[in-house]
Structure 1
Amino acid sequence: MVSPVLALFSAFLCHVAIAGRICPKPDDLPFATVVPLKTSYDPGEQIVYSCKPGYVSRGGMRRFTCPLTGMWPINTLRCIPRVCPFAGILENGIVRYTSFEYPNNISFACNPGFFLNGTSSSKCTEEGKWSPDIPTCARITCPPPPVPKFALLKDYRPSAGNNSLYQDTVVFKCLPHFAMIGNDTVMCAEQGNWTRLPECLEVKCPFPPRPENGYVNYPAKPVLQYKDIATFGCHETYKLDGPEEAECTKTGTWSSLPTCRASCKLSIKKATVLYQGMRVKIQEQFKNGMMHGDKIHFYCKNKEKKCSYTVEAHCRDGTIEIPACFKEHSALAFWKTDASELTPC
């Protein structure tokens, strides 16, 4: 028979052994919480692992009891992110992403000619849904363009009902005698608006001056306007230097104002010269003088080599300089050979 003292002592040692085997604070589990969370647990106490919002459990147990050994069982529970629905394709646009897991963001952009109808980015929420909702790419359209004052539509073909699509163009023209300031062509831009519209302004030009030794003709009306034409001419023996016609421009000035240049009277009575690549007699070709701008080539002698060369002379507004090397052939010196008859050097 066991003595009462020995039985009491054995019970005390068993209590001490059992009391010393408490469980420590459980290991941390990524993206999970423990309830209740303490620094130690007595045998028989329970804990429950729960995945944080946005994560779901995969494998292993969630509930554990502190055993008499004081060692928690191996925990194979894993908390993984929720996955939102696939959103990698956006019609008429692109999606930029790394993954569709919580809590990642994805961004959106539309192709040229389309705009985002909705948000530019979405986040995968705790519930595994996209927030805000996935957008769509809508086609960019422009309403009918406003017509500037004093302008008309020259070329307008709406391609979406009464509206125009991105990069469609419209061409304007101004009413007669109104000048266009700006580009006559506007385009449907990426914001759904038209590029800058032109202006049509009334333009008047002063009466063009008559050139000295010439004349000018223009429309017989009180005011000369944009695109009106003036024509110029010169009196006999004068030549027009500049265009025969001038136009009233959008700046209110004439496109050009020509002048009349005088012809050149030649002091040479008789000579053979080159004119437009042909040998001509100066007394016949230019008996009334040379017109402004005409060029001739005089023959000169190279006495040492007994050959000839040519030097150019140019009529400029009544003045021509005869080359110093040219010697007019005298009829009295019939035995001398004219420079034009010598072999070219």
Structure 2
Amino acid sequence: MSPARPSVPAALRLLPLLLLLLPCPPTVRGDCGLPPEVPNALPALGGNTSFPEQTTITYTCNEGFVKIPGKPDSVICLSNNQWSEVAEFCNRSCDVPTRLLFASLKKDYSMQNYFPVGSTVEYECRPGYRRDPSQPVKLTCLENLTWSKPAEFCKKKQCPNPGELQNGHINITIDILYGSPIYFSCDTGYKLVGATSSYCSLLDNTVKWSKPLPECIEIHCPEPPKIDNGYIQEEHEVYVYRQSITYGCNKGFTLVGKSSIYCAIKDNEGEWSDPPPQCKGKSSDSKPPPTPQKPTTVSVPATQRTPVPKATTSFHATSTSKGKEMSPSGAVSLIYGFVAAAIIIGILILVKFFWDYGKSGSYNTHENKKALNVMFHNLSEADDTSEVRSSDKLQKGTHV
């Protein structure tokens, strides 16, 4: 028979039950302290020092570090007043991959922001470019957290040959690859109708010229101006650059100005090089030639005698020796001239006579008188003869 166990007082048996009924201190039940430290990250505490059960604290990576995709970045306060475990989730990374003009990241990498050392990304050619199989299309994150230098693995597509511009020129500045411009111009005498330039641009996933070729149209001058009392030699329906016209005048008119003008170009329009000439007649200011008048008959009496010295006959012969017929007014003037000359010569003879007479006194008085009478007699006969001749010529002139 087994020995009897000592009896336990009833108060001791109720002790555990009493302990359970006692209230726990509020500062201990479900209270977590500060969250654990995580390398290269900081918790968002919000200024709190104690955290109740089920409180969640999230961490953020320090500057220069990036969260590793798929790893948790927060902790939870558990019922045992302990924080849940968290592993290191921040690491260094390259920045966003280099943006390239000729290529773009593939979609698999476009939403990614964590690129640790050694990671690679791939590109694809943009529209307007073609793949160059001889060049790699990948970039790598290097130890210094920079991307490797990209090769030109996408080349520009080339537009088709633009062709030729009739009566004009196509100016290709660089090439005819995607994005390149070309310019159009016309020869002198032609006007550009259409676009002045075109670009090799993207169209329906290929490259084509943005504008069609223009046209170079020949420039015409306006119809040449007409002129009064004149005409244009060899007229045409149209007149083009450098083509000339020549003016002429009707009979009896004289051309004043340039006889020929040509078609010139100004501001892509045709115009004539000079104003047209003028055809002018004889000046209205010039006086007409004098109208010949009918000769007037002058009667000179043949019996009229005027003493004229012999010397006047030679003067008369000289004046009429040219064979020209003398007008009546000229004959009258000539007679007056003879008379005046005779009077002057007579006065000179008398002065000479009296001078000689005063020197010699009465010596040879009879001989002097005789010589004087002979001289006057001869002078009178000569005067009668020349006077009759002048009268005859005057009458002949007036009756012609």
Pick the TM interval, shorter chain: 0.3 to 0.5
> Hey, which of these two has a bigger chunk of helix by percent?
2
TM-score by length of 1: 0.42
> Hey, which of these two has a bigger chunk of strand by percent?
1
Which structure: larger Rg?
A: 2
TM-score by length of 2: 0.37
